[in-house]
Amino acid sequence: MTEAVATKRKIRVNPVVAAGSKFDRYKPEEEKDVRKAEVKENPALVRLLRAYNQLLEMRMEDAPTGPPWDEGWAHRYAMALLALHESGKLVYHPVDVQQFLLALVDLDFVPKGGFEKKDKLAVLGDTLGPFLSVLTNSGRHRGYRLHVDHLDACADEFDNPLIMVGGRNTKTLEIFGNVGTALGCKMKSGLIRLNGNAGMSLGLGMTGGAIIINGNVGLSLGAGMRGGEIHVNGDIADFGEGYDVAEQVSHGKIYCKWELVVDK
């Protein structure tokens, strides 16, 4: 395991939810300096990195292909949970989770079979979202801040490989940066607020809780949604151009720029 070099960087936070919203208490924090993780001095971080490296070595080779709402999601989640549990009894703080994300930039891991440097992000995207979901859902704390903007996942806001973040969520998550498909997939309760853009199928199959997006979202918003609320403070892809947001929603509420557009 290599040692990450400590450097300073700025994290930009997108605009907050409008004044008067019932979610005002979750307003983003002010811009702060963030230091990359000192890996060797944090035993919890070392074990998190080992667990994730184990997941990468598994490479999801037997994972079913297809959209994340089929058995592929359950398989990825189970594999991430297995990797975490096999690392032994692991106690970690929300700060450790953030340091884990920062350490990924300089971590020199090579899963079995290896992969090109240019493919590293694609591999991270396929595994990191489920792993983060397991970390936050299994953790002892109620709230987590996840900075993913430094990963520079993808310039295209609707084609981001960082998928299935906040899956089966029951916690309060504040996410900084863009994410890909199926943010809040199978979400049960709690709150997810994204300060960035999200890909398609946001809130896929969610049954409760609230998702707030301070950015834009892709198609299939709320597909299979059976409860909860989604607030989009940016644009919904193709909304108003023949795309019916409510078509795939069974039950729940969706707001676009503080206007109720789906109420079932």
203 contacts 228 by C-beta, under 8 angstroms: yes
Cβ contacts of 75 within 8 Å, gap of 6 or more: 60, 62, 63, 64
Give the residue-averaged pLDDT of 198-216: 95
pLDDT, tens only, 141-200: 999 999 988 775 444 444 567 888 999 999 999 999 999 889 999 999 999 999 999 998
Number of Cβ within 10 Å of residue 125's Cβ equals 21
Burial of 19 (0-12, 13-18, 19+ CB in 10 A): exposed
Number of Cβ within 10 Å of residue 261's Cβ equals 17
pLDDT, tens only, 59-93: 655 555 555 445 566 777 878 888 887 777 778 99
The pLDDT-based confidence of 13 (bands split at 50, 70, 90) is: very low
